[in-house]
Structure 1
Amino acid sequence: MIDRKIAPAFKQVETINLIKAAPAVLDNGIPVYVVNSGDQGMVRIELIFNNVNWNVVKPLQAFATNSMITEGTSTLSAFKIAERIDYYGAFLQNDYNYDVSSVTVYSLGKHLDHVLSVVKEVITDAIFPEEELETFKTNQKQKLLVNLEKNDFVARRTFNNALFGETLYGYNIEAADYDRLTREELVEYFHLAYQPKNCSILVSGHVDDSVLNLLNKYFGRNWDKSLSVAKNVFSFAVQTGDSYFIERPEAIQSALRVGQISINRAHPDFPALQVLNTILGGYFGSRLMANIREDKGYTYGIGSALVSLQHSGYFFIASEVGAEVATATMTEIESEIKILQTELVTEEELSLVKNYMLGAFLGSLENAFSHADKFKNIWFSGLDYDYYDRYIRTVREIKPDTLLELARFYLNFDSLNKVIVGKK
């Protein structure tokens, strides 16, 4: 009989094997990265485009262009595009983040020829119909109006603007920005950004020669128009610890955001700082959760994270707490940071965090698509697979005294930007 009062034994993860992306090149020079695994016949193809020509006067160009790229071509309406994709059991999505925009399709390999013909038309012949644009603008303004009533949304945008100012990373979109958006802006950006010289392709799943031949057929030939573009490049100085309070007298909860510009994945300290962050607030058993949720009962959840961007990175702590305990929560956050700066983490706690981090890493590698996502993390940062070797080695070998030094260097509460939206 199993004695369920005794926790099962556990062992640290010994090996983590990544399926590495194999490089290839289409006839017109587009780089392709292949993560080949699985026998289910499913393929994911991501066409990735750098965001370019950031202009504070036209802050919505890249986002709106990507959002509306599937709204119609010169021969296909949005309905027809969706109908054709659905007919073959495929799925088409467009995604935007600060650094890149992408068009991604999931399809069975046996239908890929038909599906890619639609995708090719979308990324080379999108027309951004005026009627659809007006609908998009109306919907986005309404969404913004709703979000501005949410304390956590206001805290996040206030925090990002404090760190990154009026740049792509920190610009606060207003309804008036949507009012100024024109179809001509989208067409202009589309022809600049969605072109072969600004494109990379990541294909994962069951990838055989027929898949690569189809990629070459649709994207490697008869698609060679190239215009000069300026890839977005930003640099930021670490800001001093300013405080921002946006009062909302009716608030039941206050939203908190604390942090500063920090390092990104390309910095050699990043893996070690991830360990420190996990201890502080990076998982459910973290110190912030134990103190502010479990002990004080101020919140349902609090967490911290390191965010890696192409041109910067930042560290933040976020939570929504009872409106009457916002100031007390800030005091507890400061206390937890100071403990990390003055007391060594115990071997017992560090061992738990190491096992959690390695197990979470291993658990995130479910299929070819997740292996492709791991490749994107390093590719966007200009790194290679050695990064993951360093990450695993750091998690396994890091010592309490190293964490103490990192906390003293990277976590100075007085220099952190602090945002409270609601009540103090």
Structure 2
Amino acid sequence: MRRLFVSASLLALASCASTPVAAPPATPPAAEAPAPQDSESFRAKMPEPAKPPDLVLPTFEQAQLDNGLTVLVATRRQLPLVSVGIAFSAGSAQDPAGAAGTADIAYKMLLEGAGGKDTITLDNAFGDLGVSPSVGVTPDGAFLGVQVLTGNVQPALALLADVVRKPTFAPKDFERRKKQQLADIVRRLGSPGFLAQQAYLKAVFGEGHPYAHPTVGTPAEVSQLTLPTVQGFYRKHVGPKATALVVAGDLSKDQAVELAKKYFGDWKGTAVLPPAPPAPSVPPREQVRYVSKPGLEQTTVMVGRPGLAAGHPDEEALELATTVFGGFFGSRLNMNLREAKGYTYGAGASSDARLGVGPLTAQSAVRANVTGPAVTEFFRELADLRSRPITSQELESAREGLIRSFPGNFERVSGLGASAASLFYKRLPMDEFTRTVERLEKATPAEVQRVAEAYLDPAAMQLILVGDPDLIQTQVGPLHLGTLTKVDVAGAAGK
């Protein structure tokens, strides 16, 4: 058997050998080796950016109860969370004359006991819902609210209704709150930026203007505040016709209105929306105001003037011009003072449109030994907006940056609520954010250049410095920008 197997194998091999074998294919000519490339050549062309996602802005809805209470709603169903709060239409601009800080203390006092609950009991009641209420006061209004699970909206609203409608205003709580306010102001007076702000607001708006003082007040005026003054502010400015219930998150408009009726439907009051503060004058700069702080290693520089009220036709064009000038890292002012000169860690500018005309501001903290050169560069960059017009590249960078930053305001339901409250303060329509984006997109180079030259005129810009008086005298005096004038800011030590 073994032989047969071998024989069969040999026959098979023989038959294979008799079959002609095809010649192997001809070898193709070798391709030329690619020329060596520079490993850094890819840097010659900037990578193309991916297509940006579509911009989706929130929808705000509005309703009004029979008693005049406004209800603002932004529905977002992704998570079982709701931001619920109260927006008040009176802010620090409505502080009585000589009583700066009244609004700030009045709204904070609402959380110092209400509806028969003292401060600790009220705080514990909110804590049982897993939340801690917050209150923020601005020149144009205030917002008091919480962020809760959808299932806790009704008990949270019940507490907020007591806070807004039945505050205790206990004398002992007022005295404690006033001491806290004074301690906070004293702490802030250690900040050159806060000192500059106090001097700046008066320089830009004029003594006695509703926007001419910080929201927290000054030590001299807060120390003189009385409980009747705070209670009088509450009675005058808090009521359904001057207030909005703001709901953002996992509730519909119909649900929000029903809850508003349940907890606020029978609320009565005589408060009405306050008028917008008057527009200040825009005089040419005649003084260089400074706050004396001997020995400071940095000088705080603030430059500015009255800008625009919310809703003004020039608002978006000015926002673009201000952004090019100093509104982002690549702005002219920051690239000059920080990147080219190394005078500062950063310099910026902003336009704050309010219910009334808000401030238009540029500022930086610079090394003390270059105070004069830094001030010179501030005014050179302002002048260059006319002699070196805004380029199309600068404009498009500013436009894209502003528009693409919008979603950041609405990442959380608390941001949605705060945005709705801002619309209420400024008496703006519910689709204002959509309109703003449209106006930013449509602003032409000629329009932006026009407002840059009109509003960023160096001659109209007031100048405030906080720093060593000797350096200011020797470095800024010779620039002939105005008469050096020392400003006394309450509580600021200096010579």
1:28 aligns with 2:70: no
**Aligned partners of 2:81 and 2:149 also within 8 Å:** yes
Q: Please give the secondary structure, in 1, of the residue aligned with 2:304.
A: strand
Q: State the partner residue of 1:41.
A: 80
Q: Return the match for 1:51 from 73, 90, 96.
A: 90
User: Which residue identity does 1:158 align to in structure 2?
Assistant: A
Query: Would the alpha carbon gap of residues 310 and 286 (structure 1) be closer, same or farther in structure 2, given more than 3 Å must change?
Result: same
Query: Would the alpha carbon gap of residues 207 and 176 (structure 1) be closer, same or farther in structure 2, given more than 3 Å must change?
Result: same
1:202 aligns with 2:243: no
**Aligned partners of 1:264 and 1:309 also within 8 Å:** yes
**Aligned partners of 1:266 and 1:382 also within 8 Å:** no
Cα offset for 1:322? 0.8
Q: State the partner residue of 2:221.
A: 177
Q: Please give the secondary structure, in 2, of the residue aligned with 1:45.
A: strand
- Which whole-Å CA distance do the structure 1 matches of 2:52 and 2:311 have between them? 25
Cα offset for 1:90? 2.6
Q: State the partner residue of 2:208.
A: 166
- Which whole-Å CA distance do the structure 1 matches of 2:396 and 2:78 have between them? 37
Query: For each residue in 1:218-256, what CA deviation from the matched residue of structure 2 results, as whole angstroms up to 9, or x when unmatched?
Result: 1113x22x2255725421222331320222221111111
Q: Return the match for 1:234 from 252, 270, 277.
A: 277
Cα offset for 1:296? 0.6
Q: Return the match for 1:255 from 284, 300, 317.
A: 300
Q: Return the match for 1:79 from 120, 145, 149.
A: 120
- Which whole-Å CA distance do the structure 1 matches of 2:437 and 2:189 have between them? 40
User: Which residue identity does 1:168 align to in structure 2?
Assistant: P
Cα offset for 1:365? 3.5
1:192 aligns with 2:236: yes
Cα offset for 1:272? 0.8
- Which whole-Å CA distance do the structure 1 matches of 2:48 and 2:263 have between them? 53
1:322 aligns with 2:382: no
Q: State the partner residue of 1:152.
A: 193
Any residues of structure 2 matched to 1:262-411 within 5 Å, and which?
A: 262-384=307-429, 387-411=432-456
Cα offset for 1:286? 0.9
Query: For each residue in 1:201-231, what CA deviation from the matched residue of structure 2 results, as whole angstroms up to 9, or x when unmatched?
Result: 221101144443222211113x22x225572
Query: For each residue in 1:144-198, what CA deviation from the matched residue of structure 2 results, as whole angstroms up to 9, or x when unmatched?
Result: 2222232111111100011222233113633232222122222222223222222
Q: Please give the secondary structure, in 2, of the residue aligned with 1:255.
A: strand
1:136 aligns with 2:181: no
Query: Would the alpha carbon gap of residues 357 and 197 (structure 1) be closer, same or farther in structure 2, given more than 3 Å must change?
Result: closer
**Aligned partners of 2:351 and 2:360 also within 8 Å:** yes
Q: State the partner residue of 2:264.
A: 219
**Aligned partners of 1:13 and 1:355 also within 8 Å:** no
Cα offset for 1:401? 3.5
Query: Would the alpha carbon gap of residues 4 and 211 (structure 1) be closer, same or farther in structure 2, given more than 3 Å must change?
Result: farther
**Aligned partners of 1:307 and 1:314 also within 8 Å:** yes
Q: State the partner residue of 1:90.
A: 131
- Which whole-Å CA distance do the structure 2 matches of 1:4 and 1:86 have between them? 57
Query: Would the alpha carbon gap of residues 383 and 192 (structure 1) be closer, same or farther in structure 2, given more than 3 Å must change?
Result: closer
**Which has the higher Rg, Structure 1 or Structure 2?**
2
Farther off after superposition, 338-347 or 247-256: 338-347
**Aligned partners of 1:38 and 1:368 also within 8 Å:** no
Cα RMSD, aligned residues only: 2.4
Q: Please give the secondary structure, in 1, of the residue aligned with 2:352.
A: strand
**Aligned partners of 1:54 and 1:232 also within 8 Å:** no
- Stretches (4+) displaced over 6 A: none
Query: For each residue in 1:8-46, what CA deviation from the matched residue of structure 2 results, as whole angstroms up to 9, or x when unmatched?
Result: 422675853322212223353312111111232211122
Q: Please give the secondary structure, in 2, of the residue aligned with 1:58.
A: coil
Q: State the partner residue of 1:244.
A: 289
Query: For each residue in 1:380-399, what CA deviation from the matched residue of structure 2 results, as whole angstroms up to 9, or x when unmatched?
Result: 33333564455334433444
Q: Please give the secondary structure, in 2, of the residue aligned with 1:353.
A: helix
Q: Return the match for 2:102 from 49, 55, 61.
A: 61
Query: For each residue in 1:88-108, what CA deviation from the matched residue of structure 2 results, as whole angstroms up to 9, or x when unmatched?
Result: 113311221111122212211
Farther off after superposition, 333-342 or 242-251: 242-251
**Aligned partners of 1:43 and 1:108 also within 8 Å:** yes
- Which whole-Å CA distance do the structure 2 matches of 1:363 and 1:143 have between them? 30
Q: Please give the secondary structure, in 2, of the residue aligned with 1:35.
A: strand
Q: State the partner residue of 2:56.
A: 17
Query: Would the alpha carbon gap of residues 404 and 232 (structure 1) be closer, same or farther in structure 2, given more than 3 Å must change?
Result: closer
Farther off after superposition, 251-260 or 122-131: 122-131
Q: Return the match for 2:150 from 109, 115, 120.
A: 109
Farther off after superposition, 303-312 or 345-354: 345-354
Query: Would the alpha carbon gap of residues 385 and 14 (structure 1) be closer, same or farther in structure 2, given more than 3 Å must change?
Result: farther
Q: Please give the secondary structure, in 2, of the residue aligned with 1:111.
A: helix
TM-score (norm 2): 0.79
Q: Please give the secondary structure, in 2, of the residue aligned with 1:180.
A: coil
**Aligned partners of 1:29 and 1:220 also within 8 Å:** no
Query: For each residue in 1:113-144, what CA deviation from the matched residue of structure 2 results, as whole angstroms up to 9, or x when unmatched?
Result: 22222211111221222222222222222222
Cα offset for 1:110? 1.0
**Aligned partners of 2:113 and 2:168 also within 8 Å:** yes
Percent identity over the alignment is 23
- Which whole-Å CA distance do the structure 1 matches of 2:226 and 2:76 have between them? 43
Cα offset for 1:356? 1.8
- Which whole-Å CA distance do the structure 2 matches of 1:29 and 1:387 have between them? 22
**Aligned partners of 2:74 and 2:249 also within 8 Å:** yes
Q: Please give the secondary structure, in 2, of the residue aligned with 1:297.
A: coil
- Which whole-Å CA distance do the structure 1 matches of 2:103 and 2:123 have between them? 22
Q: Please give the secondary structure, in 1, of the residue aligned with 2:213.
A: coil
TM-score (norm 1): 0.91
